Structure 1
Amino acid sequence: MSRILMISDIHGCIKPFNELLDAVKYIPTEDKLILLGDYVDRGPQSKETVERVKELVQNYNVIALKGNHNQRLVDLIRTDGEEVQPKFLEHGGMQTLQSYCPFMTEDCNEELIKQAREYVRDHYNTHIAFLESLPLYHEDLYHIYVHAGLNPKYANWREQSDYDFMYIKGEFHQSKPFTEKPIIFGHTRTIELHDSPDIWFGQGKIGIDGGCAYGMQLNCLIYDDGHYYTADIKNS
């Protein structure tokens, strides 16, 4: 069996991501890499991160899931942006626009943001189409993989809303095991689950978001021959 490597919430932190892949000695032709969403916002290099993830998916059959920050960027570019723009900017979106648009400044205004949206639409439509196309979950013989979690109210978790796949928190974290396979998830920083940025092993679920874009760490959960191992890169 090949190793399964799981990483989540890179958030534009391309340097720690590449360093982590090197640290775990990732071999694209042998290992299965599964990324659990949120490749943009907060960190300094969203554009480079999306390009890297896109290349991994297209060339090495890497599984990349959709996260709420990915969807928010898609919505900003695909719509008039009015509804999503305040939340996008509030949650690290300015760093994403600065990564994509060479003319963006910290002291921006509505007109500059409008120009940035048009610039991304015109020059990076392949990135937006890629993020838009990502699946909400993945399942194999060993785990269920999802960005945020599963809603325990659903007898068939596949029928839950897109919103739950990308946003659910408390009721999922606090639920007793309700799936046959462990659920691997990101979205919620593990420091919120057990006062540590290290990977959180719960009942029937494993949280792996180490809060890299918040100056903590990027985690990798490794599943190899029935055993779990962990690795991380500090983001200083």
Structure 2
Amino acid sequence: MQTIVKRIVIPHNKRIIVISDIHGHYYHLKNLLAKINFTEDDILFILGDIIEKGPLSLKTLHYVMYLCDNYIVYPLIGNVDAARLLLIDNNSTEDCNELFVYMKSMKKKWGSCLFEEMCSELEIGVNKPEDIDNAKKQMKIKFRNEFDFLYNLPTIIETQNYIFVHGGIPSSDINSFISTDPFQYLKIDAFMERNIQFNKYVVVGHWPVSLYNDRIACSNPIIDKKRKIISIDGGCGLKRDGQLNALVISAADSENITYQYYDDFPVAIAQSSQEESVDSISIRYTDNEIRMLEEGDEFSLVEHKSSGYCLWMHNDYIYSFDENTRCDDYTDYRISVNIGDKLSIVRKTSRGYLVKKNGVTGWYSGMISQ
């Protein structure tokens, strides 16, 4: 597997849509495209991680292939897509064992994976590692078009004003990346924290944008016009409050950049107002060590180790209840709400609601109507 660079010229009368990190969430993708009124007059870029970590990888892949056949769509490969291809393609006993373990873990955590869905469609049972080799042979015949589609996805696409890539790039010297190892551009964590800038916009996914803020959890795209970097991964499926983002670039002005998003949380109307909290924290998995101070039935008092910040945390987000433990991504931010605001309900608790408002996650203690 080598880096493939593709260069295209975008007509000036075309609206550009950019989506990334769908992760097998077929209905999120379909509903988001409907929300932004995607048509044959638009150009759609999909920045990889089409499959895995979601419920409908194969159906999502087929839908993306359908879009490519019927619209102007440029999909790219993501690190998860590439890693799954390599795992399926390799036939050693060790690789078969690894795929078997992977399949079981994905079923437990996400409900399914591409390999299992292909086996199901072929009516092949995989009950032990020894079953993997035969399953691979059959699916490579049955799903040849799907595998060819994924293998031929480019790593980087460059246009007049934009560079699209899943993880990021170390410089603007695109030619030097050709035929190199693609994973160095597919898996760049926290790309926006690198001291780098470009002469045209570099649009990336891979790293959920909520991980960039240690006070407020926000899943909306981050647009840095000075350094010309845009990060759009809304944490679809990976984060409990995640969303699928669509970057929308105006046909008339390449600097006119907006966004829309889709999530499937139920929506309610706020019946009372509340002010934003002065102090808050957004704990992310990159720094999630906590100390248990007081265990409760629903919420427990914990201390975030690195900051010393103390907060009440819902027990469902705590991995274990000993003195030293870790937690899932979590915030105690009290969101600003006006009467009549639309709120997406992430979780209902005895202490109020964990909600999203315009892509921002926070707590609301008022009344709602649905």
Fold match (TM-score > 0.5) = yes
1:221 is matched with 247
Which residue in the other structure is 2:185 paired with?
Answer: 165
Q: Is the 8 A contact 1:5 1:220 kept in 2?
A: yes
Residue 219 of structure 2 is aligned to residue 197 of structure 1: yes
Cα distance between partner residues in 2 of 1:186 and 1:84? 30
205-214 or 125-134, which deviates more:
205-214
**3-state SS of paired residue (1:188):** coil
Matched with 2:4 is: none
**Matched residue, 1:96:** 114
Contact kept? 1:147, 1:166, Cα under 8 Å: yes
Q: CA deviation at 1:38?
A: 0.9
8 A Cα contact 2:20 2:47, kept in partner:
yes
Name the SS of the counterpart of 1:101 in structure 2. Answer: helix
Q: 1:111 corresponds to which residue?
A: 130
Match of 1:143 among 156, 159, 162: 162
Matched pairs, number: 231
| Contact 2:192 2:231 (C-alpha < 8 Å) held by counterparts | no
Contact kept? 2:51, 2:80, Cα under 8 Å: yes
Q: What are the Cα deviations for residues 139-178 of structure 1, in whole angstroms up to 9, with x where unaligned?
A: 11221100110124xx6144234122211224x3223443
What's the % identity of the aligned pairs? 25
Q: Distance in 2 between matches of 1:130 and 1:92?
A: 23
Conserved 8 A contact 2:197-2:229: no
User: Which residue matches 2:53?
Assistant: 42
CA contact (8 A) 1:98 1:104 kept: no
Q: Note if 1:125 corresponds to 2:144.
A: yes
CA distance in 2, matches of 1:217, 1:99: 24
Amino acid of the residue matched to residue 178 of structure 1?
Q
Post-superposition shift, 1:65? Answer: 0.4
What is the aligned counterpart of 2:233 among 209, 214, 230?
209
Counterpart for residue 18 of structure 1: 30
- Listed one character per residue, the Cα deviations across residues 75-103 of structure 1 (whole Å, up to 9, x for unaligned) are 12322164597489288485222322215
Residue in 1 that maps onto 2:75: 64
Residue 198 of structure 1 and its aligned partner are, at CA, apart by 1.3
- The one-letter amino acid paired with 1:173 is M
Alignment match of 1:174 (pick from 177, 188, 193) = 193
| 2:246 alignment partner, SS class | strand
Give the direction of change, closer, same or farther, for the CA distance of 1:84–1:62 in structure 2 (3 Å limit): farther
Letter matched to residue 156 of structure 1: D
- Report if aligned partners of 1:7, 1:221 keep a CA contact under 8 Å in 2: yes
Cα contact 1:97–1:104 (8 A) shared by 2: no
Q: Is residue 2:262 matched to residue 1:233?
A: yes
Query: What is the distance in 2 between the residues matched to 1:159 and 1:58?
Result: 31
CA shift, 1:123, in A, is: 1.3
**Shift in CA distance, 92/121, structure 1 to aligned 2, threshold 3 Å:** same
1:156 aligns with one of 157, 169, 173: 173
Among candidates 181, 185, 207, match of residue 188 of structure 1: 207
Letter of the aligned partner of 2:130 in structure 1? E
The runs of 5 or more residues in structure 1 that have no matched partner are none
Per-residue deviation, 1:235: 4.0
Question: Higher RCO, 1 or 2 (CA under 8 Å, sep at least 6)?
Answer: 1
Give deviations 1:32-88, integer Å, cap 9, x for gaps.
101000111111111111111112223323100011111122212322164597489
Report deviation, 1:182. Answer: 1.1
CA–CA separation in structure 2 for the residues paired with 1:40 and 1:65: 12
Letter aligned with residue 159 of structure 1: S
Q: Taking structure 1 as the reference length, what is the TM-score of the superposition?
A: 0.87
